Chain A
Amino acid sequence: MKVTWKKHGATLRLRFSGELDHHSAADVRREIDGLLSDTAIGFIVFDLGGVTFMDSSGIGVILGRYRMIAARGGGMDIINASRQIERILRMAGVYTLCTQGGTVE
C-alpha cells in the first residue's frame, strides 16, 4: 500500500494505491498522522481510486483520521472507491460523515 499526498490550502488530498488491510494499516496510519501534525489542515480527501483491496481494517483507518480532523472542526470526503469498497463503507455509514456524501469525481 502506497499513499501519495498533496496539500491545497487547508485540504490534504491522499491518494491510496494497493491493498489496505490490517497488515498495511499501521504504516498508513503513521504516515497520515505525521501529515496531520500540520494543524493548518482542516479537510481530508481520501482518494481510493488505486485501492485494489480493502476490508473493515480500512474503515478503522478512515474513521480514526476522521475523528482527528473532526476534533479540530474539519471534515472529509471519500472519492473514487470501487463498488466493493463503496459497499463496505456504506455498510459502516462512513459516507454519512462525508461533506459531499462521497460523490465520485
Chain B
Amino acid sequence: MKNRLVVSFPSISINESLARGITASFIMPLDPTVEELSDLRTAVSEAVTNAIIHGYGRTDGIVSMELEYDGCDVTVTVRDEGRGIENIELARKPFYTSMPDSERSGMGFSVMEAFTDGVDVQSALGQGTSVVLRKRIGNHECSL
C-alpha cells in the first residue's frame, strides 16, 4: 500500500508536538512497534525543531512536511525556506552547534541518524533546507 500526506504550518514551537502527532497517526496503519514509532517521532521532532530555530530563528516562516510510505518504507521530508546551512558536513557532526549559547547540544542530526535508516540533507544559503528521513517499519503486514 502507498500513501502520502502533505502538511504545512507556521514556525512556532507548539507545532513540534503537532508534527510528531501527525507522523504517528500517518504510520499507524503500518502497525509499527512502540520503538519504531518513538524513533520516527524523535527524528521528526529534531528536523522540525531545527527548521523552527535555525531555519527561521526570530523570523516567521512556514515549515512543510511531506510524509509517504510505500509498503514498509516510510519517508518524511521536512522543509523550510529559511537561512540555509553553509556547511552541511560540519552541521551533521556530533556536538556541532551554531547556537552553543542557547543550550543546544549539537546532537540533533546524530539523533536523526541513529533513529532512522537514512538522513539526506539539502540546503542552499538564503533559500532553505530540506531533510529527508527514511525508515523501514519492520512489520511484515505492511509489505502485503
The interface of chain A, by Cβ under 8 A from chain B, is 19, 21-23, 25, 29, 53, 55-57, 59-61, 63-64, 83-84, 87-88, 91-92
Q: What is the CA–CA distance of A25 and B110 in the complex, to the nearest angstrom?
A: 20
Q: What is the CA–CA distance of A91 and B112 in the complex, to the nearest angstrom?
A: 12
Let me know if B13 and A63 touch, CB within 8 A.
no
Residues of A within 8 A of B110 (CB): 91
The interface of chain B, by Cβ under 8 A from chain A, is 13-14, 16-17, 20, 35, 38-39, 41-42, 45-46, 49, 52-53, 94-95, 102-105, 107-108, 110-111, 114
Residues of B within 8 A of A55 (CB): 42, 45-46, 49, 108, 111
Select the residue from A23, A55, A63, A83 with max chain B CB neighbours within 10 A. A55
* Given known A22-B52, A56-B46, contact A84–B35 (CB-CB < 8 A): yes
Let me know if A21 and B35 touch, CB within 8 A.
no
A20 to chain B, nearest CB (A): 11
B15 to chain A, nearest CB (A): 8
* Given known A55-B111, A56-B108, A64-B103, contact A84–B42 (CB-CB < 8 A): yes
